[in-house]
Structure 1
Amino acid sequence: MKTRLKNAKRLLETSGIEACEVLINNNIIEKIDRDLSAEQADEIIDLKGNLILPGFIDVHIHLREPGGEHKETIKTGTEAAARGGFTTVCAMPNTNPVPDNEASVHALFAKINEDAVIRVLPYAAITKGLKGEERTDIKTLTEMGMFAFTDDGVGIQTADFMLAAMKEASACGASIVAHCEDNSIVYNGVVHDGEVSNRLNLPGIPSLSESVQIARDVLLAEATGCHYHVCHVSTKESVRIIRDAKRAGINVTAEVTPHHLLMNEGSIMTDDANYKMNPPLRAAEDQQALLAGLLDGTIDFIATDHAPHAADEKEKGFLHAPFGIVGLETAFPLLYTYLVKQEKVTLHQLVEWITVKPAKVFNLPYGVLEENRVADITVVNLERESIIQKENFLSKGKNTPFDRWKVAGSPVLTISEGNVVYINEEDFHVQTTIGS
């Protein structure tokens, strides 16, 4: 099966955009050139001048299945990801059962193979049941093909436990991915400890609860040689610690979310738990430090931390609602509209942060638009403006603070391993040439 994508545009390696066409042979990009009209193809898709990009990669999402299917399933979550332009996602292990042994991992892979519409790389837990009491068999789970190891949602509370996990992961060539939070100084907080906690009379989460654990862990990573990746960095102190660690040659990488880049605690006007996430929206100076860290390479890339919840759960207000917001269907248009179009970053930088950089950090053979590579492709319409409407999400989760934001740059076609997994049919005409 050969598919020709015609009338496209692509980013040049340095700067600028040029016309191009792409020929896909089954699941591989066979040719990229300005004009492939002489090539035989079974179907032709006219991209009408839209921009063709490598398929996006998100190394931090929650699919909730098994155990939380009322919030999201592997099927609905990957459909939402495809609509957002993502062709590879990495699913966190806070499910029931937790993927912490051979049986649960076998069952998870079987469900992914059955229901996922894009590539899903699952994490395994560092501790059994995410309880922080007994380590999983990192060697065995690595050999089974698990992406990396994390107890995301809870921080590893003791240094000796993290040290032992890093030693084993280092010996296996595996990565430790950390939600950094020292529970002893969280104080049951639900928002950032600052202006908003005072204004709404809500318990605050100090910045120190995140940064102090990162400081501990980068020294442990230095001692073990383990690749240590920091999830959803949110504070200026965390950025400073990671920057210093990189300068010292420690194998540490980090991610930031779209919501921490685009909002701060001042965005929270009322007791609306659609703004409740962990880590919380921090102060304006933290938001500025995150963007600066992304621009100077301290923070390596962007990940959504897509965390769907049921509507009735999020209606309980900050004190009682669960942490988390959805992000897969809104990430690129939000970042393009409020960072690229406002000239805070370039389009090339944004694309690298959601394709090339995460692939490089985790040694994935994806995230590039090149001949003889897997055909993971995202097409975006940079010109058309739209309004985010949560009721139209493909995700079961509608919990977003970005509802009704005006955006441009929405994905309109997503191809995963040569297969069309999302298409806005109003945008494209698919011409079948077989038998014509």
Structure 2
Amino acid sequence: MTISDASPSTPMSAVDDPVEASSSSGASATGPVRAAYAPFVQSYSAYTATVQDASRIAWRVTIASGLILLTLLVGGPIVRSWYVGWAIEVRGATMRSIDSVVFVQRQGVGDWVVAQTTEDLDEGDVIRTAVNARAFMQFFDGSTALIFPDSTFRIIRSQQGRFQPDRYSLILEVVKGRARIGVAPAEDPLQAFVQLRAPSTQVHVTEGSYSIDASGDQSQVTTRRGVATGYSNGAVASALTGQRLVATSNRPPIGGLPSRRDLVINPVFADRDGDTPADWAERDISEQDPPGEVTYHPTAGTITLARRGQGHGETMIAQNIDVDLWDFERVDVEASVRVLSHSLSGGGWQGTEYPLILRVIYRDITGTVHTWYRGFYRHNDDNFPVRDAELLPSSDWVRFETSLLGIVPRPWRIIRVELVASGWDYASVVNAFHIWAD
């Protein structure tokens, strides 16, 4: 049939179009044809050029966003809690000078300046008291420090939690001299850290009262109330109420010692330096020959002071003490003595020459030097005057004890002690001399 013969009313079948027929045949064999991927926004990146790449990027962004959100939800409170718990602020202290001049060195550097009567101090500041001055300090937690004369004191750390005030740290150092530290009670003792330092030790302390003494290479901490734990040279020692710990350079600390201590070195003459007791110096002042003699008996542990002659004589052994008594509540002299013989009656014509005299040379609060003494004698046949002396009934050993803090004017610093025999002929013996301080 020709084209001209076809009826106009007869529609042309799709199969009559060879191209469409071919397309239809192919579609029926392989399935429907999908349109090519066309991004909403034209992409020039190779990572989003295909559906698979774009989906992969989308999933990565979604997962990363979820992780960030989770981190913020979980980590945010943790970070906040950490900041609230550990955020700190530096706290200051107030100092008030007592008696005389106190010097301040800001941050431990620069020149020393004279402090005002009331001075605000910061962390790192150092104060130094004159030989007759004291300073009283009060810290943010209510703790206090009384700095005694001729002492150097440093505030190493003074910090408190910004949001948790019961968490704080206070570290104080006695560089030289003596101080009395009062540690205030803490609301939470586990959160409070108070430490005292000296050149040879670090001491952790709890609520209570403590005395710390730093002199030379030795430091001592006395616990009047509380618990002190000292750390030095890889060892630990403690001192409870009424006890004392001693720390010496290059040696382990020793704790649990009685709070009462002897200010005299080698008080029973046990240590020797040749033929004389160590740490004691001999001296004789005789107007005429022969001079007096000091005899050391190591077996018996005694010192004999003797002379056979005419005219005034004075034989002694002495020791420089140079100890501050500000922080002691009790200071006692204790000695064991014998008077064997003497030719001059009583205390001599002036009442000052005894066959045995215990002397303590000291300074009072004004710095004036005074001498306290106590004489011992066996007879006063000529009725010479006697002052500040005791008559001994025999040549047997006598134990003598008295309080130094009860004398007037009150001693504030012991300079030297002397064991003296004086007169014409005399012979006296001493086997112990103590100055107990507590």
TM-score (norm 2): 0.23
Higher relative contact order (CA 8 A, sep 6+): 1
Structure of higher CA gyration radius: 2
Structure richer in strand, relative to its length: 2
Structure richer in helix, relative to its length: 1
